[in-house]
Structure 1
Amino acid sequence: MSELLLKIQDFSLNIGTFDGSLPILKNINLDVYRGDTLGIVGESGSGKTVLMRTVLGIGPKRSEVKNGSMHFDNIDLIGLDNKGWRKIRGTRISMIFQDPMTYLNPLFTVGQQISDVMKAHEKAAGGVQSGKQQRKDTTLELLGQVGIPEPERVFNSYPHQLSGGMRQRILIAMALCGKPDLLIADEPTTALDVTVQAQVLDLINELVKKLNLTVIMISHDMGAIATVAKRCAVMYKGEIVEQGLTNDILTNPQNDYTKRLLAAMPDINNPIATTETTTETGEKPLLQVSDLKKIYKLKDGGEFAAVGGVNIHANKGEIVGIVGESGSGKSTLARLILRLVEPTSGDVLFDDKNICQLSQEDMRLMRRHMQLVFQNPHSALNGRHNIADAIGEPLRLQSKLKRHEIEAQVDKLLDIVQLPRNFKYRYPHELSGGQKQRICIARAVALNPKLLILDEPTSALDVSVQAQVLDFLQELRRDLDLTYLFISHDLAVIKEICNRVIVMRRGLIVEQGTVEDIFSNPQQQYTRDLIESGRKTSRAALGM
């Protein structure tokens, strides 16, 4: 048996809320050995992120340890003061956070940020501090280590100039710059397409072997857990309900919750579902996009086509899936359709109106019928507004409802997305990633739109909540006769919910057709590669 690195024993944590002191973690027992790879899974709000942030000393401010102990390499973490934490945090224990854009400063280059973190760790350790050039050399070495091509160029780039997968690698490099013994990865593959997700997981496995790292990975994706972790712990309502070897839990779960969690997983290898389809009629499509382009001018005088001449349509009541790797132009296309980004050329006909020719005021009114669920719930919600304000905002701006009517509607919307009504008094930072995503969905459907554009709406959700949200979206579509553009990197979800599929790459459509045509007989090698990556992840999640 390897050396015991982290021991959590009978640990319970309460947090202060408007409803009084509530138990968040209950009698947690967990042993992590040096060189171990442990996965922690559980639904949104189960306490997995709170537990690991407490290990790093950045748990909730209004929290109180009720009982138990937490030791790292024989150091009592509960009794550490700020000076003690500075010597451990980042150098002995480090964390890859869930959302790169939230944790990377948009005003500084990637190289500057990693160098600053490195300098802070050296100062906290109290040893000899390296010079500016030495830190740059080390940063370039780290960038190469995490598989980033052209490290010098990326060193001088800003976060917004990089794809989601590249930004995730930057966070990994930043977490490694203090040479930690324990690396905590909090949802490191959330919102990444299947090909980039596979690359990030392979990178973590490679780093474990090369640097002899101990890794704890938090994820709602059982396929990701199975790819990285030898052991697995399942959390539910603040408790560990089952733990053991990952393969044993996947193939022979003992706890009822674990069984439900695995049963809720969408599997790309399943037969194509009998998804309701719309019948082609002589009616015009609700949405018709013709030769839509977005061209950006580069500093060197060249051009970059984020979207390069796209033609798509969506019939009333249809669910059209859009898939493609990170940087393929899916999200840019969504923003062009809503004119959140102005197109360079092309036409967007919605409900027989060309929105590219509307004034800004008319476009604002049109957006009542066209709503977008953004990919990143952390950035989409204003941290200064409570949840009631966030959900009620479109009703205040676009309806003539009175205050008490808006409050009643907010309660109904919280019921729809299966969150307690008392959540309306909370603020975004008090919710988990999955809970925030459900708030965004509630806000998007508040005005009963005709078209809902969903940009990775289930990427931050655990599989059980994901299944509930997908069922809810199907039910909502039938009840309100909605049309969906469903952007996702999860091919199993696309296969389960969509009527037609559009495959994008580098701003262009490479293939489109019915779900059956795309998944049963893909014509392009790129599409075949995407589907095979999805099948590989599904097989891993099933312990195959």
Structure 2
Amino acid sequence: MTGPLLDIQNYRLDIGTFDGPVHVLKDINLKVNRGDTLGIVGESGSGKTVLVRSVLGIGPKASRVVEGSIAFDGQGITALSEKDWTKIRGIRISMIFQDPMTYLNPLFTIGQQISDVIAAHEKAAGKGVSSKAARRARTEELLDQVGLPNPAMLFDQYPHQLSGGMRQRVLIAMALSGKPDLLIADEPTTALDVTVQAQVLDLIKSLVKKLNLTVIMISHDIGAIATIAKRCAVMYKGEIVEQGLTADILSAPKHEYTRRLLAAVPDIDTASAKVAAEPAVGTPPKSSILLEAIDLRKVYRSQSGSEVTAVDGINLSVATGEIFGVVGESGSGKSTLARMLLRLIEPTSGDIIFDGKNTSGLTGEPLRLMRRHMQFVFQNPHSALNGRHTIGDAIGEPLRIQTSMGRRDIEARVEALLDIVQLPKMFKYRYPHELSGGQKQRICIARAIALNPRLLILDEPTSALDISVQAQVLDFLQELRAELDLTYVFISHNLAVIRQICDRTIVMKRGAIVEQGETERLFLSPQHEYTRALIESGRKTSRAANLSAPTGS
């Protein structure tokens, strides 16, 4: 065939609701030729995932094709039966999903899961299912192809025994098992550290060249799209508002939405103006150091008696009113450190000093009262809120637990907190599923500041958010810090975000601090080899780096 591999023409899709149809996709026109790498970028709710799931025949159940068609390799696939789809889905069109732990079964070994997929593809293609030994050999070949060490050993391991980057590579191997013509990657690097993210992107690029793959990659990470895709389509409210060569769109965006999206991307090589915190007039003088950790260690012991040191001799001090950054890869001990600072995890040894008082020996009521002044904002706002509770109940919960306030006073405080986080007061009657990701994260922040704490520990608060929503939350956090004289410990693997918001930063590796100092100094003159490697990995997906080099090269 000389025509496009994938041809979408005037495609419109509605999803039925109690309030009538929602126009999810509107007049989509898109052509993807063999060997193309296409990036689709846009916010949550823009229709990216619905579009590619329609290409795979797994769109929403209540959806209805209003108009238009989708053709794959010259064959119309808009109205295929499920039987016909089994010969295409996973075999000729395959997909890499976003969260490996959701799509890998924890009860089965890696090898068995890939082997079962191979058998399913062979059966669907009408071939006889090959022997276990042949499928094992093919599985080990695929694991080797995606750059995983010792495939024979990995075959017998379970998902929980692998790192996040390794699990993502397993999903890529699984997607390649049917030798597809078209590979769709849905946010394949969202939850990964900068170094692992760069490795996965390099792997996809090498597979495109080696296997002559055609790739469609969905992401809200502009840098990831620029690294992989020669061409790019920008989606907004169910429409493709702009498409063309990625380099052209990045350097000279034509649509207003594309310009806003690019303006919201934090740049690792650009210093940002930080909003200074100013104590309110009449506030009594405070100690300049609010939080200290002295020789903090956490050692985990297994049943076999072996030891793993998660945090090893950490010493740090956080000044009142500053934003203190903690950066490092997964497994470096960032989250363990954060939980120890709040005494959610007991340290093996060392001291935690908060506002001049040693909290290490506190238990019971004194510990509960101390926690009023130290609050935590978790990484995933979707799982941090109880789906059965209204927003008003969620924000008011700390007040009910920690204070003797009456119902009316709590309601008034909840409304005031919603006002502080710039959300309508009527949101108190809503449930979490009725809010966007950015709105849910604001609710989590409102709940965290309900008791007027002095310290907020934020664990990857923007990693699950779209670029534009991330920018809004970061700006809001800086404004909130200035307004309420808050102190932040900000944990992230996104170096551009760390540079944008943090005053001082520590770099962690394998439980230890390898470098610390003023954030700007760390970025301009990193002393440790690991810090330099982290920054270089971050630059690989930096928009500035990709504008200075040919895209997809």
TM-score by length of 1: 0.89
Partner residue, 1:314: 318
Preserved CA contact (<8 Å) 2:382 2:432? no
Shift of 1:394: 4.8
Residues 267 and 88 of structure 1, relative CA distance in 2, 3 Å threshold: same
Quote the residue 1:328 is aligned against: 332
Which amino acid in structure 2 is aligned with residue 25 of structure 1?
L
> Using a 3 Å threshold, how does the CA distance of structure 1 residues 427 and 10 change in structure 2: closer, same or farther?
farther
Q: What is the CA distance between 1:129 and its match in structure 2?
A: 1.5
Higher mean displacement: 128-137 or 27-36 = 128-137
Given residue 113 of structure 1, which amino acid in structure 2 is its aligned partner? Q
Give 1:374 deviation, angstroms. Answer: 2.7
1:338 aligns with 2:325: no
Is the Cα–Cα contact under 8 Å of residues 379 and 461 in structure 2 kept in the other structure? yes
Equivalent position amino acid for 1:525 in 2: E
Paired AA for residue 326 in structure 1: S
Q: Is the 8 A contact 2:301 2:308 kept in 1?
A: yes
**Is residue 498 from structure 1 mapped to residue 494 from structure 2 by the alignment?**
no
Computing the radius of gyration from Cα coordinates, the structure with the larger value is: 2
Q: Which sits farther off after the overlay, 250-259 or 124-133?
A: 124-133
Instruction: Give the aligned residue type for 1:303.
Output: E
The residue aligned with 2:164 is: 164
Show the 5 A alignment for 1:315-394: 315-359=319-363, 363=367, 366-377=370-381, 379-381=383-385, 394=398
Q: Secondary structure at the match of 1:226?
A: helix
Q: Specify the alignment match of 1:476 in structure 2.
A: 480
Structure 1 residue aligned with 2:407: 402
Question: Is the partner of 2:289 in helix, strand or coil?
Answer: coil
The correspondence for 1:416, drawn from 404, 412, 421, is: 421
Q: Residues 99-118 of structure 1: matches in 2 within 5 Å?
A: 99-118=99-118
Q: Give, in whole Å, the separation in 2 of the partners of 1:361 and 1:16.
A: 52
8 Å Cα contact 2:333/2:511 also seen in 1: yes
- Distance (Å, rounded) in 2 between the aligned partners of 1:172 and 1:530: 24
Correspondence for 2:25: 25
- Which residue does 1:149 correspond to in 2? 149
Moved more, 331-340 or 227-236: 331-340
Aligned partner letter, 1:106:
P
RMSD: 3.2
CA distance in 2, matches of 1:176, 1:142: 7
Tell me, yes or no, if the aligned pair for 1:226 and 1:543 is still in contact at 8 Å: no
CA displacement 1:131-159 (0-9 Å, x = unmatched)? 33433332222222212223344333333
10-19 or 323-332, which moves further after superposition?
A: 10-19
Shift of 1:78: 2.8
Which range moves more in the overlay, 228-237 or 30-39? 30-39
| Structure 1 position 215, deviation (Å) | 0.9
Partner of 1:42: 42
Which whole-Å CA distance do the structure 2 matches of 1:99 and 1:491 have between them?
22
Q: Are the equivalent residues in 2 in contact too, given 1:7–1:30 (CA < 8 A)?
A: yes
Please tell me the residue identity of whatever aligns with 2:149. Answer: P
- Aligned residue in 2 for 1:449: 453
Q: In 2, distance between residues paired with 1:194 and 1:487?
A: 14
- For structure 2, the 5+ residue unaligned runs are 280-284
The alpha-carbon deviation at position 42 of structure 1 amounts to 1.2
Paired residues in the alignment total 542
CA contact (8 A) 2:375 2:448 kept: yes
Counterpart-to-counterpart distance in 2, 1:373 and 1:176: 38
Q: Return closer, same or farther for 1:233/1:278 CA change in 2, 3 Å cut-off.
A: same
Q: What is the deviation of 1:121?
A: 3.3
SS of the aligned residue for 1:24 comes to strand
Once residues 490 and 323 of structure 2 are traced to their aligned partners in structure 1, the CA distance between those partners, rounded to angstroms, is 7
* 3-state SS in 2 of match to 1:4: coil
SS at match of 1:198: helix
1:275-333 residue CA offsets vs partner (Å, 9 max, x unmatched)? 53799x98163221222222223576432212112112222221011111232121222
**Bigger shift: residues 398-407 or 301-310:** 398-407
Q: Deviations over 1:496-544 (max 9, x none)?
A: 1110010011111000001122122221121122223323432334354
**CA shift in 2, pair 1:330/1:524, >3 Å:** same
Q: Hey, what's the Cα distance between the residues in 2 that align with 1:535 and 1:52?
A: 29
Q: Give, as a single letter, the amino acid of the residue that structure 2 aligns with 1:53.
A: R
